[in-house]
Amino acid sequence: MKIGFEHGKLDGIKSEAVVVGVFEKFQGFKFEGGGDFKKEAAAARFTGGSGEAFFALDRIGRPQKLVLFVGLGPKESYSPAEARLAAAAAVRKLGERFVRSALFVLWAEACKGKIEDAVSAIAEGVILTSARFERYITDKDRHSKQLESAAIWLEKRSAKAEDGLKLGRTLSDAVLFSRDLITAPSNEITPAYLAEEAVSLAKAYGFKAKIMDEKECAKLGMGAYLAVGAGSANPPRFIHLSYKPKNAKFTLGIIGKGMTFDSGGISLKPGEGMGAMKSDMSGAAAVLGAMKAVGELKPKVGVEMVVAACENMPSGSAYRPGDILTSMSGKTIEVQNTDAEGRLTLADALTYMQKQGVDQVVDLATLTGACVVALGTDIAGVMGNDEKFIGELTQLSGVSGDQLWQLPLQKDYRRFIKSPVADICNISRVRWGGAITAGLFLQFFVDEKTPWAHIDIAGPAYRDDDLGECHRAEGAGFGVRLLVRHILRKQGKA
């Protein structure tokens, strides 16, 4: 998509449509030589509230263009998040009229915080909502055509706004890369495929790539990870990308759960909804997408990325309930449910990552249904051993659009994952607090001196409805923007 800026009179713009954002308590908006649209707004019961939108009855300007009003909510709380949602809502409405080009007047200068964050958010809302996953649809007329070009209106030119637009484009491209990996089916996205994508990124951006097969992982003692992948005909691949810029004073370790399909293994999942388990590698897609953005932006911050990619399948070679596994750390794990598999792969990935000399570690994983019960489908749970680190991520989530809410790592709950025959059990012996006990399991494999955060993205990773700039039955690319903004913050650029 083409996207840029416009400055000047709105009625002279050549776009097919003008999107005008208005704040609550709509008092009309007057174009040159036109009315204020108060009557039309009243008829549509439009007040400027967040999420509201309506097409004016009259066209304006020469050449004539449609006018779409979108609500921005209260002016005093207008933020990049609201701007992003307004842009996304506008794109959906424009699609109803088959509009191919539009100007977005969303008052970036009025947003809280930096203008570059506002511009980036608007660009993300426009670009991401306009993109649809149609790779396997042969009827190309099935969906209405989306925007082909867009412009963001500003009162005056701004170098910082230009920086924001560049960042918005880069983040959007990275998110779309991640979404494609999540949405594509598991007969295409195998562990080997993810490894190939990682190698392609390494070649494109000069990263160091290390791909390990079963034999190499066995030499390192990755008994937990290898057990999960043992039942599949598609062999596991342990993926490590390394970005080491000169004079970097900080290195972030990012880990993504890479379950390219999760049947539940011997503890087989119900058939209903199992098709969505192609998205169980959303954490891997997020960290790969983040690396794509890192390659484009070239921050002066080191990044180590790890994905323990595999499939969890039932077969004669699959691991079983009752098995005891020895992890890379040397700690032993009693398996009581083979559908609690992601934490086993992450245990070895965390141990491996801590040997890479990183300053912080964050893992992203579609880990528990319990987190979805607690926080719903739009918010990810974050927990960890360093309050400052968690605070950094939570604050940035308000800018990135990846919503986080902290859950406690309640020490007393460790009693629920104690095993009488091994060091730890892979699942709690009670139903309650499943997201927390999963986090406690992971913490068992993290050194106390390593600042670590775990983000359970089970809810927002894969969409079951159209929300914001995401589309139903598609991956959301949740976490890409959060990770990239955290990396940029560490070098003082975000």
Q: Are residues 284 and 330 in the same domain?
A: yes
Q: For this structure, is 431 an active site residue?
A: no
pLDDT score, position 371: 98
In this prediction, residues 26-55 reach a mean pLDDT of 85
Q: Are residues 80 and 126 in the same domain?
A: yes
Residue 54 lies in a domain: yes
Q: Are residues 459 and 396 in the same domain?
A: yes
pLDDT score, position 146: 81
Q: Are residues 359 and 450 in the same domain?
A: yes
Residue 97 lies in a domain: yes
pLDDT score, position 144: 63
Task: Give yes or no for residue 406 having a pLDDT over 80.
Answer: yes
* Residue where one domain finishes, among candidates 100, 119, 154: 154
Residue 286 lies in a domain: yes
Residue 123 lies in a domain: yes
Number of folded domains in the chain? Answer: 2
Domain assignment of residue 17, given as a range: 2-154
pLDDT score, position 310: 98
Task: Give yes or no for residue 125 having a pLDDT over 90.
Answer: yes
Q: What whole-number distance in Å separates Cα of residue 349 and Cα of residue 80?
A: 34
Amino acid identity, residue 343?
R
Assigned token pair, 425: 């059990």
Cβ-count burial 11-24 (b if 16+ within 10 Å, e if not): bebebbbbbbbbbb
Residue 395 lies in a domain: yes
Query: What are the tens digits of pLDDT across the range 378-391?
Result: 999 999 999 999 99
Select from 46, 42, 92 the least CA-distant residue to 69. 46
Q: Which residue in the list 166, 269, 331, 489 is annotated as catalytic?
A: 269
Lowest-pLDDT range, 125-139, 177-191, 404-418?
A: 125-139
Residue 170 lies in a domain: no
Q: For this structure, is 292 an active site residue?
A: no
- Does the global pTM surpass 0.85? yes
Query: What are the tens digits of pLDDT across the range 86-104?
Result: 999 999 999 999 999 999 9
pLDDT score, position 129: 97
Select from 477, 378, 473, 464 the least CA-distant residue to 143. 473
In this prediction, residues 112-137 reach a mean pLDDT of 96
Assigned token pair, 1: 């998509």
Q: Which residue in the list 84, 292, 343, 490 is annotated as catalytic?
A: 343
Q: What is the CATH number of the domain that holds 28?
A: 3.40.220.10
pLDDT score, position 112: 92
End-to-end CA gap in the chain: 25
* Mean per-residue pLDDT over the chain, rounded: 95
Q: Are residues 202 and 80 in the same domain?
A: no
- Between 63 and 46, whose confidence is greater? 46
As a whole-number percent, the residues of the chain with pLDDT over 90 amount to: 88
Q: Are residues 347 and 226 in the same domain?
A: yes
Q: Are residues 191 and 58 in the same domain?
A: no
Q: Are residues 187 and 150 in the same domain?
A: no
pLDDT score, position 34: 67
Q: What is the CATH number of the domain that holds 455?
A: 3.40.630.10
Residue 8 binned pLDDT confidence (cut-offs 50, 70, 90) = confident
- 228, 262 contact by CB (below 8 A): no
* Residue where one domain finishes, among candidates 123, 154, 185: 154
Q: Are residues 303 and 209 in the same domain?
A: yes
Phi-psi region of 452 (alpha: psi -120 to 50; beta: other; left: phi over 0): beta
Query: What are the tens digits of pLDDT across the range 51-72?
Result: 899 998 777 777 788 999 999 9
Residue 87's Cα: distance from chain center in Å?
18
CB within 8 A of 215, min separation 6: which ones? Answer: none
Q: Are residues 224 and 299 in the same domain?
A: yes
Residue 164 lies in a domain: no
Q: Are residues 382 and 276 in the same domain?
A: yes
In this prediction, residues 409-436 reach a mean pLDDT of 97
* Residue where one domain finishes, among candidates 154, 189, 224: 154
Q: Are residues 373 and 291 in the same domain?
A: yes
pLDDT score, position 64: 81
pLDDT score, position 57: 73
DSSP code, position 308: E
Residue 167 lies in a domain: no
Query: What are the tens digits of pLDDT across the range 172-225?
Result: 999 999 999 999 999 999 999 999 999 999 999 999 999 999 999 999 999 999
Residue 344 binned pLDDT confidence (cut-offs 50, 70, 90) = very high
